[in-house]
Amino acid sequence: MIFERMEIKKGVFVSAVKTDKFKTNLLTVNLLTPLCAETASLNSLLTDVIKRGTVLYPNMQILHKKQDELYSLGLNAYVQKRGELQLITFELSAIDDAYTFDGMNLLEQATELLGELIFNPVTENSVFRAEYVAQEKKNLIDSIKAQINNKSSYAIKRCHEIMCKGEPFAVSVAGEISAVEKITPEQLYAQYKELLKNAAVEVLFVGNRDASEIAALLAKHLPFTERKPFIKETIVKTTADEVKKVTEKMQINQCKLSIGMRIGTSLKSKDYIKFSLFNELFGGSSTSKLFLNVREKKSLCYYCQPVVEGVKGVMVIASGVESKNKDTAYEAIMEQLEDVRNGVISDAELGDAKRSLENAYREITDSPASICAWYISRIITGRSDSPEDAANSIASVTKTDIIVMAKRLVLDTVYSLEG
Amino acid sequence: MSFAVKENKTLNEKYYFKKHKSGLSVYVFPKKHSNTFALIGTKYGSIDTTFKTDRDSDFLTIPDGVAHFLEHKLFEDEHGNDAFQRYAKYGGNANAFTSFVRTAYLFSCTNNFEDNLEVLLDFVTHPFFSEESIKKEQGIIGEEIRMYQDNPGWRVFFNMLGAMYVNNTVRKDIAGTVESISQITPDILYKTYNTFYNLNNMALCVCGDVTAEQVESVCDKALEPSEEITIERIFPEEPERINQERVTLELEVAQPIFNIGIKDVPVSSPEESIKRAAVYEILLQLLFGKSSDFYNRHYESGLINNKFAVSFDHDRNFAHIEISGSCDNPDDVKKAVCEEIALRKNVFFTKEEFDRAKRVVYANNIYNFDSTEVIATGFLSFVFSGNDMLEYPSIVSSVSYEESKERLMSSFDINKCVISIVFPKKTQ
C-alpha cells in the first residue's frame, strides 16, 4: 500500500492509496467547509438534490440506468462531520476494469459521470429545479425526524449537543428542520456555487492506480479551479465547567446512559496514540475493563463502550441499562476509570490492549472504505501516518502513559434517555 | 487424503476443501489481505426447537432462544474465563452470531493465526454450563432482548414474519423472550450441544493469507473425532396460506416504517436454492431496483424515499420476499407493489432491461470478494445450503430471459402478501 498526496492546483489536493488487493476502486471528492448553523442544512440538502439528475441525465431513472451500464456503479453524495468541519462528499465505487467482460475503460467513464454529477446538475431558471428541491426538503426533514428511531445513536447525538453547546461541534451535520424548511432553490444554488468556487478540495482514491493517473483523470473530468480555502481549526477544549446532568424521557424499555467526556488531547497531537491505547484498555475491546467488569461480572448492560471523536477530542461512554440500574452502572463505569487512573493495570491487560489495538489498525488496510476514512481524518489534522505506522508505534507506549491519559479525562455531561 | 481445489478463473479466486478426519468440513480460501478471517458454524439456529439423534429414543423440545443462549455460554469455560481473554493473548478479534438456521463463531487476526484458530476450535468443542453461569447470562441476554424491543426495525421485521407464517418457528424472535430463557437449564444446553455441535454437522471456513496445510495442522491438534450421527428435526406443519394480511404496532418513531412480505414456497434441493436466489435477485432488480419504473415513479410522487429496499430470503423451510422502508402511507406502498407485480406478469420487461439487470447482479457480486469476512461468512451459508459461492456468477449468467418471465408468472403471489407497520405513538 503506497500513499501519495499532491496539490494539482492551488487548494485542490489528490491523494491515492495504491494497492492491488481489491477488485474495486473507490474515489471520493471531499469539499471541506467549517461546520456552522448557517450552512450545515444547505450543504446537507445539496447532497440530496444533486443526486436527482444532471444536464445529460436529467432524472434519477436515466442516471441510474447509466450507472447500471457502468457495472452497477456506486455514485453517492453525503455530508460527514469531522471535528468542526463539514465534509460534502461525492463518492464513486466501481469494479476494476479487469473484471468487466467487454473491456470497458470503466474508471475513466465513471469519473466522467462523477464530474457530470458534481459540475453539471439539472437546473431551471438558472437554479436547482424547484420540484426536486421541495421533494428533497420533505425527505430530509423526515430523515432528521427519524433520528429518534435509533435510540443509541440518538442518545449519543444528544449528549454531544449538550456537552458542546455553543461550540460549532454541536451543529447537526444532517441539518435542522427549521432551517431546511426555509431553504429556497436560489439559496441552495448560491451555496452550491460558493462551495465549488471556494471550498478546499481533497480527493482520495483507493485502488489499483497511482496519484498521477488519478490526477490526469481529474484534470480531464473534474474542472476544479484554483482557490484559497479558509480552514477553521477545530477547538479542542480540555476542561469542563460544572458537570451537566440531563435526563430526557421517551417511551422505551431500556435506558440509554451516555457519559460525555473531554479526552484532553486530539488526533492532531502526538499523544493521541497513548490515548487510543488507554481507550482500548478501558472500554474499546472485549477484554477491556468496561466489558469484563460492567457487562460480564456485574451483568449490568448488554453494551457499554466509548465512542470517540478524535478530531474534536471528545468521547461518550454509551451504554444500555435497565433504568433502575442507571446509577449503579454509572458508579461501576467511573470506578473502572478510577482504577486506571490509580494504575490498577496488569501486564496481561496492557499486553491484551496493545495486541487488540494493533490488530484493529492493521485490519484497516483490508477495506477501501476504512482506508478512506483513515486518511481523510489524517489529512484534516495535518498528518500522513499510515495504519501500519500507527500499529508499529504502539509498542513504545507505557503503563505510565496510560495513567497520564486517564487523568486527563474530564467529565462534562451525564445524559440519560429513559422511559 | 489431500485437499481438493476449486478455482474460478474469471473471478481469479480459488479455495481448498477437505473433510477432516474429525468429521469437520474444512474450506480454505487464500487471500493476500493483512487479516485472516475464520469462522466455524453449526447447522443449528433458532428455528430448530424439536429434535433427536439416532441414539435418542424421544424427541426433545427446547425453549425459544436456546441457540442464541448457547452461543453466549460457549464463550465461558469451567473456571469462569471467557474465550475473549484467551484470544486476547494472540490479538484475535472475536465474535459470534445466531441466525434462524445457523450459529457461528468467528475471529479475525493479523498475527498468530494458528494460535487464534486453536482457541476457536478448542472453546467451541469444550462446553461448560452451570446453574450459576446460566443465571448471570439471563441478565445480560435480558438486556439484549429489552434493547431489541426498542428497535423499531427489529419489531417491524418479526411482525412481518408473524403475519406471513402461521406455525413456522421462524416467526419467533431469535433470542427468545425473558420468560422463555428463564426455563433454560444446564441439561437442556448439554443435550442441545451434543446434538448439533457434532463436527459432522459443522463447517470451518477460513479466508486470508494462510495455507490449507496450516489450517489442517491446527485441526489435527485441536479436534477429537465426532461420532457419525443422524439428526432428525421436527418442524410444525406450515400451510401455504398467510397468517394475517396486516399487523401494526405503535413505537417511538417519527414516520411509519414498514416491512412488506410475500410468502414463497420453500426450495426442495440445493440446485433449486442457488438458482432461485439468482433468478429472484434479477427479478427484484427489474421490478424494484433503483433504475426501475416502479422506484422512480413512486419516488417522484413522494410515496417512497431512498430508504426503500428489497431482498429475497430463503433457507431450509422458509422463503419470502421482503420490501422495507419508511414513509407516510405504507398501505399505499403495498397496493402499488401488488399492482406492479400484477402488471409485470402481463407485460414483462424487455430483453434489454433484463440484460442490464443481469449485469448489475454480476457486478454487485464482485464486491463480495474484497473482504475476507464477507467471503468466509458467505461461503458458510452457501456450504450449508449445499452450494458453492464460486459457482454463483455462472448460475447468474445461466439465467434465461424466458425462465425469469416464467418464474414471475408462477411465483410472486400477491394473495400471499402481508404488511407490517410500526406507527409513531399517538401524542397524548
What value of ipTM does the predicted structure carry? 0.93
Query: Which residues have a Cβ under 8 Å from the Cβ of B259 and sit 6 or more positions away?
Result: B156, B157, B159, B160, B322, B323, B324, B419, B420
Contact criterion met (CB below 8 Å) for B125 and B224: yes
Of B253, B290, B371, the CB nearest to A367: B371
pLDDT band at B143 (very low <50, low <70, confident <90, very high): confident
Q: Which residues of chain B have a CB within 8 Å of the CB of A72? A: 359-360, 363-364
CA–CA distance, A418 with A415 (Å, rounded to integer): 10
Contacts for A311 with CB less than 8 Å, ≥ 6 apart:
A82, A83, A84, A85, A234, A266, A267, A268, A377, A380, A381
Residues B367, B392 share a domain: yes
* pLDDT of B1 above 70: no
Predicted confidence at residue A352, as pLDDT, reads: 95
Using the predicted structure, report yes or no on whether residue B395 has a pLDDT greater than 90.
yes
Contact (CB<8Å) B32/A352: no
Strand A244-249 versus strand A410-418 pairing type: parallel
Answer for the pair B51, B232: CB distance below 8 angstroms, yes or no: yes
B109 Cβ under 8 Å from any chain A Cβ: yes
Q: Do B89 and A67 touch (CB under 8 A)?
A: no
Q: Render pLDDT for B364-383 as a digit per residue (tens, 0 to 9).
A: 999 999 999 999 999 999 99
CB within 8 Å of chain A, chain B residues 1-60: 10-12, 32-35
Residue ending a domain, choose from B233, B254, B270: B233
Contact assignment for B299 to A60 by CB distance below 8 Å: yes
A151/B254 touch (CB, cutoff 8 Å), yes or no: no
Name the pLDDT band for B305 (thresholds 50, 70, 90): very high
**A254 contact residues in B (CB cutoff 8 A):** 143, 146-147, 149-150
Q: List the single residue in A with minimal CA-CA distance to B33.
A: A366
Q: What CATH number is attached to the domain comprising A384?
A: 3.30.830.10
Model pLDDT, residue B146: 86
Confidence at residue A244, expressed as pLDDT on a 0 to 100 scale: 97
CA neighbor of B20 nearest in space, from B97, B121, B119, B116: B121
Residue pair A393/A98 in contact by the 8 Å Cβ criterion: no
Range of the domain at A392: 244-418
Q: How far apart are CA A169 and CA A156, in angstroms?
A: 13
CA distance B364 to chain A (A): 7
Q: Is A232 domain-assigned?
A: no
Regarding whether B222 and B263 lie in a shared domain, the answer is no
Confidence grade of residue B427 (pLDDT, cut at 50, 70, 90):
low
Which has the closest alpha carbon to A355: B111, B107, B106?
B111
B181 interaction partners in chain A (CB closer than 8 Å): none
Question: If contacts are CB pairs under 8 Å, which of residues 258-297 in chain B contact chain A?
Answer: 289-293, 295-296
Q: Beta strand A24-34 with A200-207: parallel, antiparallel or unpaired?
A: antiparallel
Same domain, B229 and B374: no
Chain A residue numbers touching B359 (CB-CB < 8 A): 68-69, 71-72
Cβ–Cβ gap B257/A149 under 8 Å: yes
Same domain? For B228 and B254 the reply is no
* Residue B417 within any structural domain of the chain: yes
Q: Is residue B229 in some structural domain?
A: yes
Q: Which residues of A touch B367 (CB under 8 A)?
A: 23-24, 93, 95
B180 and B64 together in one domain: yes
Asked if residue A206 and residue A297 are part of one domain, the reply reads no
Average of per-residue pLDDT across B1-7: 90
Q: Which of B34, B93, B291 sits opposite A356 (nearest CB)?
A: B93
What torsion do the CA atoms of A247, A250, A255, A257 make, to the nearest 10 degrees?
Answer: -40
Catalytic residue among B13, B71, B118, B272: B71
A365/B contact by beta carbon, under 8 A: yes
Do A151 and A86 sit in the same domain of this protein? yes
Instruction: Answer whether A223 touches B (CB < 8 Å).
Output: no
In this predicted structure, what is the pLDDT of residue B139? 85
**Cα-based distances in Å from B30 to A292, A375, B121, B365, B372:** 34, 28, 20, 18, 9
Q: Is the dihedral of CA B344, B350, B351, B355 positive or negative?
A: negative
The whole-angstrom distance between B21's CA and the closest CA on chain A is 32
B209 with B339, same domain: the answer is no
The verdict on residue B239 lying in a domain is no
Residue A350, in any domain of the structure: yes
Our count of domains for chain A comes to 2
**Residue A191 and residue A251 share a domain:** no
Q: B324 and B297, same structural domain?
A: yes
What is the grid cell recorded at A35?
461546520
Residues A40 and A168 in one domain: yes
Q: Does A290 share its domain with A182?
A: no
Only one residue has cell 478546499, namely A200
For residues A42 and A103, membership in a common domain is answered with: yes
Question: Do A7 and A92 belong to one domain?
Answer: yes
For residue B421, the model assigns a pLDDT of 98
* Cα–Cα distance measured from residue B141 to residue B63, given in angstroms and rounded to the nearest whole number: 14
Dihedral in degrees, nearest 10, Cα atoms A175, A181, A182, A185: 90
The answer to the question of residue A24 being in a domain is: yes
Boundary (domain end) residue, out of A221, A255, A277:
A221
pLDDT at A300 (0 to 100): 80
Q: For the domain that residue B321 is a member of, what is the CATH number?
A: 3.30.830.10
Residue A95 lies in a domain: yes
User: Does the residue B98 lie in any domain?
Assistant: yes
By CA distance, what is B254's nearest residue in A? A146
Q: A233 in a domain, yes or no?
A: no
Return mean pLDDT, chain B.
96
- Tell me whether residue B241 is in a domain: no
Contact B253 A71 (CB under 8 A): no
For residue B114, what pLDDT is reported?
98
Same domain, A308 and A204: no
Among the partner-chain residues A61, A71, A302, the one whose CB lies closest to the CB of B143 is: A302
B324 in helix, strand or coil? Answer: strand
Q: Are strands A314-321 and A255-262 parallel, antiparallel or unpaired?
A: antiparallel
* Count of pairs with CB atoms under 8 A, one residue in A, one in B: 177
In this complex, which of A148, A251, A254 lies closest to B146 when CB atoms are compared? Answer: A254
Residue after which a domain boundary falls, among B233, B259, B283? B233
Q: Is B71 marked active-site?
A: yes
A367 domain residue, yes or no: yes
Identify which of A251, A301, A367 has the shortest CB distance to residue B252.
Answer: A251
- B170 and B70 housed in the same domain: yes
Shared domain check, A317 and A179:
no
Q: Of B114, B317, B302, which is closest to residue B222 (Cα–Cα)?
A: B114
Whether A7 and chain B come into contact, CB under 8 Å, resolves to no
Whether residues B279 and B220 fall in one domain: no
User: B366, A23: Cβ pair inside 8 Å?
Assistant: yes
In a domain, B240, yes or no: no
Within a domain: A228:
no
Domain membership of residue B238 (yes or no) is no
Binary contact (A64, B290; C-beta < 8 A): yes
Tell whether B396 and B273 lie within a shared domain: yes
Low-confidence ranges of chain A (pLDDT < 50): none
| pLDDT, tens digit (0-9, with 9 covering 90-100), for B184-208 | 999 999 999 999 999 999 999 999 9
Question: For chain B, how big is the Rg over CA atoms in Å?
Answer: 23
Rounded Cα gap, residues A206 and A38, in angstroms: 33
Does A134 contact B at CB distance below 8 Å?
Answer: no
3-state class (DSSP) for residue B224: coil
Residues of B in contact with A295 (CB under 8 A): 140
**According to the model, what pLDDT value does residue A307 have?**
97
Instruction: Please state the domain count of chain B.
Output: 2
User: Once rounded to an integer, what is the mean pLDDT over residues B316-327?
Assistant: 97
- CB spacing of A355 vs B110 below 8 angstroms: no
Cα-to-chain-centroid distance, residue A388: 21
When pLDDT is cut at 50, 70 and 90, the band that residue B82 belongs to is confident
Final residue in a domain of this structure, among B202, B233, B264: B233
Closest CA to B308 of B283, B287, B281: B287
Kindly state whether residue B138 falls inside one of the protein's structural domains. Answer: yes
Shared domain check, A294 and A392 = yes
pLDDT of residue B414: 97
For the beta carbon of residue B348, count every other beta carbon within 10 angstroms.
Answer: 18
Contact B305 A142 (CB under 8 A): yes
Among candidate residues A244, A415, A407, the one with its CA nearest the CA of residue A337: A407
Domain check: are A86 and A121 in the same one?
Answer: yes
Q: Which of B35, B88, B372 sits opposite A362 (nearest CB)?
A: B35
The answer on B270 and B123 residing in a single domain is no
Domain carrying residue B359: 246-424
